[in-house]
Structure 1
Amino acid sequence: MFDAVLIANRGEIAVRVITTLRRLGIRSVAVHTPADAHARHVLEADTATAVPGYLDIEAIVEAALRCRAQAIHPGYGFLAENAAFARRCAEAGVVFIGPPPEAIEAMGDKIRAKATVAAAGVPVVPGGAEPGDDLVAVAGRIGFPVLVKPSAGGGGKGMAVVRSAEELPAALESARRTAQAAFGDGTLLVERFVPDPRHIEIQVLADAHGNVIHLGERECSLQRRHQKIVEEAPSPLLDAATRERMGAAAVEAARSVGYTGAGTVEFIVHGGTREHHFMEMNTRLQVEHPVTEMVTGLDLVELQLRIAAGEPLPLSQDDVRLTGHAVEARVYAEDPARGFLPTGGRVLLLREPSAPVRVDSGLVAGETVGSDYDPMLSKIIAWAPDRAGALRALDRALGETWTLGVTTNVPFLRALLAHPAVAAGDLDTGLVERHLAELVPATHVPDDVLAAAALACHHALTPARPGPWDVADGWRPGMPAAWTRWRLESRGEVHEVLVRGLPATGAEVVVRDAEPITARLSVHGDDLAVTSEGRTRRYVWARDGDTVWIGRDGAAWALTRRPLGDPGARPGGALAGDGVVRSPMPGTVLAVKVAVGERVAEGQPLVVVEAMKMEHTVTAPVLGVVAELPARAGQRVEMDAVLAVVRPGGDGPRDGEGGETGEEGA
């Protein structure tokens, strides 16, 4: 076994690998960019060293040699499926903990992979591929609808369902353009579209001694835009006979390319007939590997290490047992109410559930979640003897998960788990998109959250031993106590809450002009409890300047105190119709499309912002004139940063009649 292993990755997967290395007594070496110098994976590793970037092959190999690491674990993403990286490791005498580069290349090309596994007897979806096939003719032969896919890359980029011959030429052109831009390869394939498809994958393990086994399946059908959200093991669809057939097919697929290490063979499965076809193979550890670990009791990272060190597999196919059920949810820094745009910010308060659930996380309180990397923050995994119990345990755990300071998708995940089709196991890859409107949480701030926020703000401004002159807007001789008016903004809407009295002993509260209620606030560090009308509600909270974050049941609301004067003057939030245009996500300004003084129409593009390889065009909220333009091409901006101000109406200078000129960027 190795003495030291370098992890060529960051975030939760780096922490996950470090956990196994520590248990085995192997020294862990973390790499990090300057921005990640204080990240959790750096703090938990035995040794850490800086690199210019996580894709810098030479710097990472040099770091392994410098730190005397005999092997490199690539995690997933970044360099995990990079054959050139695997070859460079071998040249440097460092073990790449993954398959041979030839296997990576064979399975990295979808066209070549399908041909290879088909020759080994693995069922594949009928279709055709370039350059040998005329895709228009292939589509006509197999019948519509068809699925157009790039040969290179993954993640759903360039993939499209085409339902008629008339749509096909434009779809091919669009897919080719996307594939060329994303992967540098515009080669395409066309496959028969499987109705009501389920995405089910088989975990395989292969050693260098000819042994190949599978560890059962994972159901990954709950997806949005071809990105997995919730995964589980085993699948609620498969029976024992289908599992055995799919497992055998996955083993043959791995054998066909001389595979070694841990890998995943992905199948598209007909929800009615259970007919399965090979889709692709991921030649690395998968994000969702913990659900397999939970039902098998095996540590896949340990097995990767042992295989890479030359050991034979310590178990045979007959030794594999699936016990109980496990479900995993991915927690993302994204805002479902804003079209799932990436979010970010400083983690003011971090609460993650404890045992019996498992949490794979790369977060620490106080760190800043930026826009340079994938928005996944953590994974919550629950196990129970049966599926219903695992779903309940996961929902409870998500209700105890807060990352105050960063908006996450936790309320969306809870809504998805509660959906009747999910509870029944009636899944397919289109379920989330069909029911998206009912799954995205409302942006409305509940009355009890507004009351809790106002009471917390009031409490923070009240001395520990107040006198009659110390209470904000308090009583004066001969007069009853006055009301304190709190104006709290959330998502462009300002809410007014009136508070009178001392929250610690009982204060009157009026929310949205309703009847006053008497509420008592109890504060214990980051925990709040509000008792009113015989009922106590519990919250977590954190403050960031004028903004107070309130969390309840896994959801969180950011409420910003506004002065009683101009409601639109304070940066960080905007009232609807005030003409202030703010960044919908933290990122980098790619382009500025207008200039100060320019007349713009409602909906006209103003600024393009990029985050995590996602571009978003910010448009004019009203008809008017660009009065201010703080945004500059290349500038990094935080979420809700002011990009432009459009003065409503038709008056003002015309194009070129004065004012500062905006910058154009690309």
Structure 2
Amino acid sequence: MSYMTPEPTLFHTVLVANRGEIARRVIRTLRELGIRSVAVYSDADAASPHVEEADAAVRIGPAPAAESYLDIDAVIAAARATGAQAIHPGYGFLSESVGLAEACAESGIVFIGPSIDALQIMGDKAKAREHVARHGVPVVPGFDAKGLSDIEIAEEAESVGFPLLVKPSAGGGGKGMEVVSVAPDLAAALATARRIAASAFGDDSLILERLIERPRHIEVQVFGDEHGTVLALGERECTLQRRHQKVIEEAPSAGIPDSTRERLLNAAVRAAESVSYVGAGTVEFLVDADAPDEVFFIEMNTRLQVEHPVTEEVTGLDLVELQLRVASGFPLDIEPRVAGHAVEARIYAEAPERGFLPSTGRILAFEIPPGVRVDSAIETGSEITGFYDPMIAKVIAVADDRVTALRRLDEALGRTVVLGVETNISFLRTLCRNERVAAGDLDTGLIESLLPMATEPPTSSMLDAVRHHLLLQERWESNRGGLDAVHLRAGAVWASKRDDSAVGPAAYLTDDDELILAEAAVAPSSPAVAVSDDAGAVWVASDGRSARLRPLDRRQRMLRRLAARDTAAAATDPEARAPMPGSVVAVHVDHGAAVHAGDPLVSIEAMKMEHLVVAPHDGVVDLLVAAGDQVRRAQPVARVTEIPEPGTTEEDR
């Protein structure tokens, strides 16, 4: 008797073990395929768009990711309770978790990703280096530091040579990576990398590699099926990044030789075949900008990438659909072709002018431009907290050629409005217009060469929109219904007909406490959008730029002048303050210790980024927080009392 293998069928229910933009992206494809979607959410995300858009939703824990999105037992329980046949992990969180893959196997649930063996090999950077090197894939010179003492690491580092890159063996996204230019800096870099790696990945193992001075970061999208087929779907340029976090990506890569492209694609397929890869994966490489014929394997991400839309746009493929089909047992029956050019910009809730500090708050207005693809985590009314990654949206532009694609992306960013949190939109436009970016002269240090970013004052159009908005608000409040809330919001968008004479001079304070004066209404150079927040400040956006302005009346301006005069001769503020809301992850000094100006006091982490608070001047430190404490923006974390000079009297002070 012979048995025929049943034809594969797609799943009827899939749980999406993620949040935000990628959860919405996966749910969209599930809906198009007629597959029931199940969302999971933490307390912080109860009202998030991905929860509203799914067919079913299950609470899996409180706001901290470790107690919700990283809780494997809670995710599996949600899948069982809803009858999910498969789990799509998205990216980040549990997307490369061996533990989740094993739990799925034990529960009879399909993990939409590669095999457990592939996850184990490629999830450890040191193990992956050794494995792919045995299969003919070129790797960067370096060594695995696991099990070595700091002295032994220093000896090995000298043999490889400086500069070196220190990075965690586990995890990805650039977290924990430290550049060491000279040997004396190695010990501090090791300590920082271990602390971040242990916190982010639960594993403080490190590897050290030779640092390529002008690297380009190029990755290849691969796909494998259960029938032994592995395909490369083209490469992506991910060189525009800051602190190893990608900012703008594009496909195909910007002007690499065809011979280099062929080496990249072939090496990526060899790496994926070496672990019998199934599903979507990305093999990442460094290419020396000064010697583009050299390519080096960095790592393999065993999941869908944040930047997958640019590959979708130039290949015409839905990569999430391919993941679902491959996980269901269907063979890959595609012939990859690349046509045109796509560029993606990541919009982060952060302030480039303040060192890219994360920003939190409620989204007061979110407006997207027509003619481009926007994958977003937010809608108007969404809450941005400090618990998760600061990326809130991606804008993707497509054209027949790279120059046009970049121009369309720039124009689309200029028409994108996000009010309620600070964003990097204006900075993204600066990158789109940069001469080196336009020419394709890229390396991973390009963004750092543009820093620091200066704070630009609001434009006249922005100030005029604020004044017009405040006028409408005043009329609405005085008329008690003469203008309704809808009219008020609509009036915040610049209108061609309005009563200019009623909009007089005004003064505002920025969040950096800078005084802004507006003297007269002017014809706008571009549309502007303005909306008030709960504190009475006005957020305004125009041409991709935004600002938060606090109106000042005459009395407030007078009090401000008096306060400034009284404090003009005052000493430096003794309090060291948190630059943003977050968690204290390290305390670097003892209570009562003597410190010098600039000495590290505490480290604060928010949105997966760590920021150092330093002593404002010489003195004795009083610690006001401890490791593990949650702090608000501008909250004092330490007080440094100046030590008086010998012989100084109370009257002198």
Q: Normalising TM by the smaller chain, what interval?
A: 0.7 to 0.9
Give the match for residue 454 of structure 1.
467
Rounded Cα–Cα distance in structure 2 between residues aligned with 1:199 and 1:600: 40
Contact 1:55 1:79 in 2 (8 A): yes
Whole-angstrom CA distance in 1 between matches of 2:91 and 2:283: 15
Q: Which moved more, 1:577-586 or 1:195-204?
A: 577-586
Match of 2:32 in 1: 23
Structure 2 equivalent of residue 418 of structure 1: 433
Q: What is the one-letter code of the residue matched to 2:354?
A: R
Q: Take 1:196 and 1:451, find their aligned partners in 2: how far apart are those partners?
A: 45
Pick the aligned partner of 2:252 from 209, 225, 234: 234
Q: How far apart are the structure 1 equivalents of 2:199 and 2:620? A: 35
Counterpart of 2:98 in structure 1 is: 83
Deviations 1:338-391 (A, max 9, x none): 11111011111111122x211011111112111100000011011100000000
1:323 aligned partner? 339
Q: CA deviation at 1:429?
A: 0.8
Alignment of 1:222-621 (within 5 A): 222-274=240-292, 275-315=294-334, 319-354=335-370, 356-437=371-452, 440-462=453-475, 486-495=506-515, 497=517, 511=519, 517=520, 519=521, 532=523, 537-544=526-533, 545-565=535-555, 583-588=578-583, 609-616=604-611
Closer/same/farther in 2, CA of residues 65 and 404 from structure 1, 3 Å limit: same
C-alpha distance in structure 2 between counterparts of 1:593 and 1:569, whole Å: 39
For the 8 Å contact 1:343–1:639, the answer to whether it is kept is no
Aligned: 1:49 with 2:44: no
Offset, 1:270: 1.4
Q: Which runs of 5+ in 1 are unaligned?
A: 467-480, 498-509, 512-516, 520-530, 652-666
Q: Aligned partner of 1:126: which letter?
A: P
Aligned partners of 1:219, 1:463: CA distance in 2, in Å?
Answer: 51
- Report the alpha carbon displacement of residue 649 of structure 1 after superposing the two structures with TM: 10
Change (3 A) 1:184 1:638: closer
Q: Tell me, what secondary structure is at the counterpart of 1:219?
A: strand
| Length, aligned pairs only | 595
Any idea what the Cα deviations from partners look like across 1:190-247, whole Å, max 9, x if unmatched?
3232231111000000000000000010000111011111100000132333222211
* Corresponding residue of 2:3: none
* CA–CA distance in structure 2, aligned partners of residues 300 and 483 of structure 1: 52
Give the Cα separation in 2 of the matches to 1:93 and 1:86.
11
Alpha-carbon distance, 1:171 to partner: 4.5
Q: Letter of the 1:327 partner, please give it.
A: V
Residues 297-346 of structure 1 show CA distances to partners (whole Å, capped at 9, x for unaligned) of: 0010000000100111122xxx2111000000000000111111110111
Q: How far did 1:30 drift?
A: 0.5
Letter in 2 for 1:103: A
Check whether the contact 1:231–1:328 (CA below 8 A) recurs between aligned residues.
yes
Partners of 2:304 and 2:611 lie apart in 1 by 31
What CA distance in whole angstroms lies between the structure 1 residues aligned with 2:201 and 2:87?
25
C-alpha displacement at 1:294, in angstroms?
0.4
- What does residue 490 of structure 2 align with? none
Secondary structure, aligned partner of 2:253: coil
SS of equivalent to 1:198: strand
Q: Is the Cα–Cα contact under 8 Å of residues 146 and 207 in structure 2 kept in the other structure?
A: no
Change (3 A) 1:87 1:464: closer
Which ranges in structure 2 are unaligned for 5 or more consecutive residues?
A: 1-9, 62-67, 480-500, 645-653
**Partners of 2:394 and 2:98 in 1: how far apart?**
28
**Shift in CA distance, 370/295, structure 1 to aligned 2, threshold 3 Å:** same
Give SS of 2:92's match.
coil
Equivalent residue number for residue 94 of structure 1: 109
Partners of 2:594 and 2:192 in 1: how far apart?
A: 33
> Separation in 2 of the partners of 1:606 and 1:171?
17
Question: Are the aligned partners of 1:129 and 1:135 in contact in 2 as well (CA < 8 Å)?
Answer: no
Deviation at 1:583, TM superposition (A): 4.9
Q: Are the aligned partners of 2:461 and 2:525 in contact in 1 as well (CA < 8 Å)?
A: no
Distance 1:32 1:569, change over 3 A: farther
Alpha carbons of 1:284 and 1:568: their partners in 2 closer, same or farther (altered >3 Å)? farther
Relative to structure 1, the CA distance from residue 561 to residue 635 in structure 2 (aligned partners, 3 Å threshold; closer, same or farther) is farther
- Offset at residue 554 of structure 1 (A): 1.1
SS at match of 1:436: coil
CA distance in 1, matches of 2:558, 2:445: 41
| Distance in 2 separating the partners of 1:153 and 1:27 | 31
Q: Do structure 1's residue 66 and structure 2's residue 62 form an aligned pair?
A: no
1:464/1:118 CA distance change after superposition, 3 Å: closer
Separation (CA, whole Å) in 2 of partners of 1:626 and 1:148: 32
Matched with 1:32 is 41
Closer, same or farther: CA 165–228 of 1 in aligned 2, 3 Å: same
Q: Structure 1 residues 138, 648: closer, same or farther in 2, change over 3 A?
A: closer
Partner Cα separation in structure 2 for residue 617 and residue 300 of structure 1: 39
Stretch of structure 1 that moved more, 288-297 or 426-435: 426-435
> Secondary structure in 2 aligned to 1:28?
strand
Q: Partner amino acid for 2:359?
A: T
TM-score in terms of structure 1 length: 0.80
Instruction: Indicate the residue corresponding to 1:664 in structure 2.
Output: none
